[in-house]
Structure 1
Amino acid sequence: MAAEQVGSPTTEKILQSLHAEAKKLLASRADEPFVAHLSRLASELPGRGWQRLTPHLLHNPLPQQGRGASGPSRAELIAACTVCDEYGQIEMADGAVANCRHRNVTQPAA
């Protein structure tokens, strides 16, 4: 199978879709750290063969700024998380083990 040529109808359709997606995301938030993060994620798409920006952003959220030592420790996040085990890991659908991102934790356990 030949690679898509720049300017081909398929490539143009994908680019239009990505442009619309980026426009929608930037309408909700346009501060400099988010724009830089979104730009970096968009630049990763072709190399990975992906065509959608939103799922990539959901799996790679913008890192928290200035959390440093004032943020919860890993142990606190693991204790408060209802998804992962006592080691901060989750089992994936294919049986592989991955580190939990503790997305369901709103307030860490004290």
Structure 2
Amino acid sequence: MRIAIALSKDDEGRVYPGPFGHAPRFAIYQVEGEGFRLLEVRANPYAAMEGGNKHALMRELLKDVDLRVGARFGHGGSLGAFPMADRLEVGPVKVAEALERIRGRGTP
């Protein structure tokens, strides 16, 4: 399982405080056993984009990710970029805390 965590502009150790799709970059983690391995930090070229085909572009950008983690999500549901089942709102916490919350959900 792969996880994308929205990263803060100024501190890679914190979750971006705004909507997931506006994060400047994402930390992509692979679930491995009881832990997580950072695979890459991926830039979000659509961070400043509003409307249009942003949802489709974001789906393509994160097509290899199973769970999206952010402080908050904007529009969603079945019509949005990411259905409710594959996202987790954690607030603007440290990335380490977000990973602990994921672990607490049973993932892994």
Q: Who wins on radius of gyration, i.e. which is larger?
A: 1
Q: Which has the higher helix share?
A: 1
Larger relative CO (CA 8 A, sep 6+): 1 or 2? 2
